[in-house]
Chain A
């Protein structure tokens, strides 16, 4: 079957660094996506990885290891506005996204 696993909740301190892990199993693979979702709002796109390695975009970076079925999202210099859920999704061979349940990130001052 197809499955995405990520931690349910994480807590971090303002100004610190946090890494949110995601493991995936899909029928075929066409890339790994990270979305951010603030409470009561729509998901918004953060990053897309299809090749192994690290993609950096400002304070956010995303890593992919296809052989391990593993990705992480790294958030640096945390700000209070980063408090949100972070959704990991893998695209399968039918170009459909398989979504994880999301990781709720709580930022403390």
Chain B
């Protein structure tokens, strides 16, 4: 099992460009999450999904869109990148989002917006 994978691992964008980050999990988990991690701050939830075809907003959703067309994939889109979106993005998954369910994280995507 590969667990949770993310592509790409690194990306540099210019302001205004768009891109999509892909997260894939092979553990048949229902719940998937997108977080961003910035220096000196905790992980912040961007969007999450409780199952195929569903998405919901997290703490910092502005400027991002998501889609969960297949259970194993969760895509994060930036339509018009801004320097404030420079961050490390982590995808995570958990079986059913319950307190006793561990969240498993992908290796992260390091995004720089110039």
Contacts and interface: CB of A to CB of B under 8 A. Distances in A.
A102 B98 CA distance: 23
A31 B97 CA distance: 13
Contacts of A48: 99-100, 102
For the residues of B in contact with A, the DSSP-based class is loop
A102 B105 CA distance: 16
A36 to B, nearest CB: 11
B99 A98 contact: no
Contacts of B58: 96
Interface in A55-109: 87, 89, 91, 95-102
A83 to B, nearest CB: 18
B45 A96 contact: yes
Contacts of A41: 107-108
B99 to A, nearest CB: 4
B87 interface: no
A34 to B, nearest CB: 12
Contact of A97 (B45, B104, B108): B45
A4 interface: yes
A45 B99 contact: no
Nearest to B105: A42
A95 B97 CA distance: 7
Contact of A44 (B43, B98, B100, B105): B105
Interface in A11-70: 30-31, 41-45, 48, 50
30 contacts: A41-B108, A42-B90, A42-B105, A42-B106, A42-B107, A42-B108, A44-B105, A45-B103, A45-B104, A48-B99, A48-B100, A48-B102, A50-B99, A87-B42, A89-B42, A89-B43, A91-B99, A95-B97, A95-B98, A96-B45, A96-B48, A96-B58, A97-B43, A97-B103, A99-B42, A99-B43, A100-B42, A101-B40, A101-B41, A101-B42
Interface of B: 4, 40-45, 48, 58-59, 90, 97-100, 102-108
Interface of A: 4, 8, 30-31, 41-45, 48, 50, 87, 89, 91, 95-102
